[in-house]
A = this chain, B = another copy of it.
Amino acid sequence: MAIPRAAKTLRRTRIQEEKEEQILEAALDVFSVSGFRGSTIDQIAEVAGMSKPNLLYYFRTKEAMHRALIDRVLFNWLEPLRAFDAEGNPESEIRSYIRRKLEMARDFPRESRLFANEMLQGAPHVLDMLKGPLKELVDEKAAVIRTWAKGGKIARCDPYHLIFSIWSTTQHYADFDVQVRAVLGEEHSGDGRFEDAARFLEQLFVNGLLQDHSDA
C-alpha cells in the first residue's frame, strides 16, 4: 500500500525525483500560457506523457502542483536582483543587471509568463512573498541606488521606479514575445532582437541615469 502522502517527502526515491521533475516541466508549459484557472490537469498530464491519476499521485491537487512550481521558479527568478552589488560601480552594475534580466527573458520565457499570469490575477498565491521577501530585497537594493544618487554617481531618481522600469522593459521580451515578433516582422524574429534590445536598453538607462541633467 502506498505511503500516506504526508510522509512522502521524508525519503524520496529515484522515480519520485524524475517524475516530479517531469510533471513540473509540463506544468510550466501549461500554466505559463493559460494561468492557473485556465489550465487543466488533463492538459498537463498529456504534456507530461502520463495519466491524470498518476500526476495526482505526486501532487495531490492542482493547487499543490502550482505552488511547487512557483516555489521552484521564484528563487531563481530573483537571482539577478540579489546579485546587484553595492560595491560595484553604478554603470556596470546597471548594465549587467539589464543584461542578466534580458538573458532570463530569452532563456526562461515560460518562467516569466508564469509569474506574469500570477500578477495579472492579483497574485493570489504569492502575495505574502511579494509583501515580505521581495519587498525587503527591493528595499535593500533601493537603498544602494539612493546612496549612489546622493554621492552624485548617478542622477537623482526614484530607485523603486528605476527597478520597476528595468523589470518591465526586460520581461516584456518574454511576456509580450508574440507582440514583439509581430511588430518586428518575420525577418527580425531570430534571437537578434535580444541583442538589439540590450543595446537600446543599456543606452537608455546609462545615458538616462548616469549623468545628472536636472541641474545643468
Contact = CB atoms under 8 A, between A and B. Distances in A.
A161 B164 CA distance: 17
Interface string A68-105: 00000000000000000000000000000000000000
Nearest to A163: B183
Q: Which of A127, A157, A161 has the most B CB atoms < 10 Å from its CB?
A: A161
Interface string A148-186: 000000010110111011011101110111111011110
A138 B183 contact: yes
A93 B158 CA distance: 23
Q: Which 8 A-B pairs have the closest CB atoms?
A: A208-B208, A37-B38, A38-B38, A168-B172, A130-B182, A161-B200, A204-B208, A168-B168
14 contacts: A33-B121, A35-B117, A116-B120, A119-B175, A120-B120, A157-B204, A160-B183, A161-B196, A168-B169, A168-B176, A203-B208, A206-B213, A207-B208, A208-B209
